[in-house]
Structure 1
Amino acid sequence: MINKLFAVYYGPQGITLLAHFQNLIALLTTLPNSGINVGLIRHLAQHEPDSASYRSYFWMGLSLNLLTFLGGIAAIILFPAFFLERFSQEIPVQPGITEFWIFLCLFVLLLLHLFWLSVLLAKQALRAYVYLSLLTSVISIGVTWWAVGRVELSSALVLFLTGQSISGLVGMAVVIFKGLVPRWQWGWSPDVVRNLGKFLVMALSTLVGAKLIDFVVRELAIQQFSMVETGLWQSVVKISDSYTMVYVSILGMVYYPKIAALLPQPQALQVYVKSIFYLLVPALAVGLLIFWWQRDFFIQLLFHREFLAARDLMNYQVLGDFLKMTAWVLSYIITVQARVKLYILTQLGSGLLYVTLVACLMPLLGIEGLPIAYAVRYGVFLVFHLYLFRSYFLKA
């Protein structure tokens, strides 16, 4: 819905800047959310809220969330031209110190919202998790609906962030009400830092190999083509992100906690992963084929008729999505096992391959080279994981 609103009122250029802004948010939240919070889900799930271990992980996790976030802010302040150049072109008046602090507070609230979600998920409070996520979506859509067409594009982006951040306060109330906030405890436990640090290091490779790479590739596309052409490609990517987000949510709520629980039982883990793999892959293939067949309908539903020019880009994008979503069933095993070196290798190697393919294919094939590079990247990614976990599928 948010993509639709930006597409209708601001066109392909608006979609390009929305994607860039969301990518900037991801750069600031990947280390806390995809690193520390993932580790918290694993470790908080093993302890009761009144235990010393739960208190240690909870407060250490919250502290590390804030520290890594401040590190991200420092990186943006040090390299403003790289991160903010595209936005500054759309802002007629440079923001002052008051606007900066407001912006910073919104990001902190968003960070807290993601932290509360991880606590709820760790304790399997799925109803509260779903309601809080739904509330965030409703508020974001409502605020954006009011803003688009009435304010400048830059202001609409800030209000979009506001809609996502409000749930940080609501989430705090929910977690406190459920008794999941332990009493204050200060102190750096080496074991806790080490355990959460593994996930933080893995998230760092995701930050560089995925989020930062996406930012760089979009910059390359804008320089090679235009904001409009890049916006058409980004509309395809955003449609992909829409159904991929649903898939990731299901894996995160159901699959990840289950394989984490089965870690001490290798044989049972293999049986479960194999069964899920054979169940999901055909379902993914059928679902994505239906989507591809009706891609014109979905482009107009989620964006606007002028974005139909991007329909041919959907071919390789859908293929890449199938390969990526299939590989994720196996790559989650690496995450839950906290195999740090292997995880870093796959993330950085995949990101480097993608940039190399984009640099080679974009001048030769034009804008179509971007989804082709994406599909090849995840084809290699899938083959690697199939080889790595081949014992899961070979008969004993």
Structure 2
Amino acid sequence: MSLVKSSLLNGIAVVVKVGAAMILNKVLALYVGPSGYAVIGQFQNALAVALSLSGGVMGPGVTKGTAQHFDNQSQQHTIWQTAVKLTLSATLVASLLFIVAHQWLSGKLLERADMDTVFIGLGLALPAIALNNLLLAIINGKKDVVTYVSANIVGSLLSLLVVGALTYLGGLYGALLAIAISPAASLLATGALVARRGWFKAAYLWGKLDRPVVKELSGFGLMGLTSAIMSPLAFMFIRNHLSQTLGLDAAGYWQASWKISEIYLMLITLTLSMYYLPRLAEIKTRTELGKEIAKVYSVVLPMVILGAVVMYFLRDFIIEKLFSKDFAPMRELFFWQLTGDILKIGSWILSYIMLGRAMVRAFVLTEVIFSLSFYGFTVMLSKIYGFQGVAMAYAANYLLYWIAMWILVRNEMNKMETKHV
């Protein structure tokens, strides 16, 4: 399926996701305020780390392997079976850690002793969340766009219902508990959808552990683990720095600006995951890779730039409608935040090649370096420019990241040319 067709179909899911996110943002803004929004951001980062520890980081490897062996169903099933065993083993350990350490985690991450039981809920929900993510990775690798889009739509609606209801009933505690358990509910919908496909049977998910597949998935696992741990940790440190130097509300404003970026960039990021990663797994030559990169840039970058320009001129309207007047100070972040969004997508188009071609060492190294530099830039620039410094740090970091990606991908393409010759 072409990039344009994938984008159009994926756009349906994005419309639902954006609509659900807009409603949830309004609910959260009204019921928890800027300071509560900062706490929610911390917990969402903890959830990301939990998913990485529970084996969710192997998703790109499962997608790549499934797409790469499109003509070998037996090998696909071997990949799925190995991934399921590895995921369940990791999930058991991660779940126990979150349940046992729930009080310590609440104090350290949320600075709230009364929120500790949400980590118990997270630990109990992890197996279902991890399995749902694994099924989505398999569907993506099979390029079953209709099922993939349908699963995402249902997941968005379930999240809207659960998070909205529990936030209304329980305030900040209800919101955190809902964020922990709502992704697990999506497993029922995803399972029901994939069970109807002729290429899938539940029996295909259970079997022997294949050592070559373990080795291949471990490389993707290391890349995913690095990304899933370093980025949330950087965000946690940044949020703590803003809270300690500028106040908890400032951290909430930054979290809200980040959420706006996530919402309007959904079409791009989901399309890259759905179309681009499986496509990269199929490419064998430098010429073909160069053409694919150019095609994606020609479609994606104009969309991002147009979206950023529209968002900037509508910033006051967006803040009032998505959040509330209490979030008005975040308008100071828009220019540099949106500039950073453009630079991020530009660099991600190249960074996906590291995933598609299993460039483990380069991926891990750059993730560590640029997660640390984001925090370092934030500390440095916020001292000079105040609140705007965090958004300026975001833009500066992704400018350097884009340059690094260009160098790494150019070198990889030179290697492809040499091997091909």
Structure 2 stretches lacking a partner, 5+ long? 1-22
Contact 1:40 1:122 in 2 (8 A): yes
For residues 320-375 of structure 1, the C-alpha deviation after alignment (integer angstroms, 9 at most, x for no partner) is 11101111111111110001111111111111211211222233332222111111
Match of 2:246 among 216, 225, 247: 225
TM-score with structure 1 setting the length? 0.89
Q: Give the superposition deviation at 1:376.
A: 0.8
Query: Pairwise mapping of residues 284-303 of structure 1 onto structure 2 (< 5 A)?
Result: 284-303=304-323
TM-score with structure 2 setting the length? 0.84
Q: Give the superposition deviation at 1:245.
A: 2.9
Q: Which residue of 1 aligns with 2:170?
A: 151
Match of 1:278 among 298, 302, 324: 298
Q: Which residue of 2 aligns with 1:350?
A: 370
The reply to whether residue 172 of structure 1 matches residue 191 of structure 2 is yes
Q: Which residue of 2 aligns with 1:327?
A: 347
Q: Give the superposition deviation at 1:147.
A: 2.6
Q: Give the superposition deviation at 1:184.
A: 6.0
For residue 114 of structure 2, give the secondary structure of its aligned residue in structure 1. coil
Question: Between the two proteins, what is the percent identity of the paired residues?
Answer: 24
The reply to whether residue 203 of structure 1 matches residue 224 of structure 2 is yes
For residues 7-42 of structure 1, the C-alpha deviation after alignment (integer angstroms, 9 at most, x for no partner) is 011110221122112111111113567631110011
Contact 1:361 1:373 in 2 (8 A): yes
Change (3 A) 1:142 1:352: same
Report the AA paired with residue 256 of structure 1.
L
Change (3 A) 1:250 1:165: same
Contact 2:80 2:205 in 1 (8 A): no
> Aligned equivalents of 2:257 and 2:186: distance in 1?
28
> Aligned equivalents of 2:288 and 2:384: distance in 1?
48
Larger deviation: 68-77 or 271-280? 68-77
Report the AA paired with residue 135 of structure 2.
W
Contact 1:87 1:154 in 2 (8 A): no
> Aligned equivalents of 1:217 and 1:304: distance in 2?
23
> Aligned equivalents of 1:209 and 1:124: distance in 2?
29
Q: Give the superposition deviation at 1:172.
A: 2.1
Q: Which residue of 2 aligns with 1:128?
A: 147
For residue 188 of structure 1, give the secondary structure of its aligned residue in structure 2. coil
Contact 1:6 1:15 in 2 (8 A): yes
Contact 2:162 2:182 in 1 (8 A): yes
> Aligned equivalents of 2:362 and 2:103: distance in 1?
32
Q: Which residue of 2 aligns with 1:65?
A: 87
> Aligned equivalents of 1:184 and 1:310: distance in 2?
46
Higher helix share: 2
Change (3 A) 1:81 1:102: closer
For residue 358 of structure 2, give the secondary structure of its aligned residue in structure 1. coil
For residue 68 of structure 1, give the secondary structure of its aligned residue in structure 2. helix
Change (3 A) 1:129 1:156: same
Contact 2:26 2:322 in 1 (8 A): yes
Change (3 A) 1:376 1:59: same
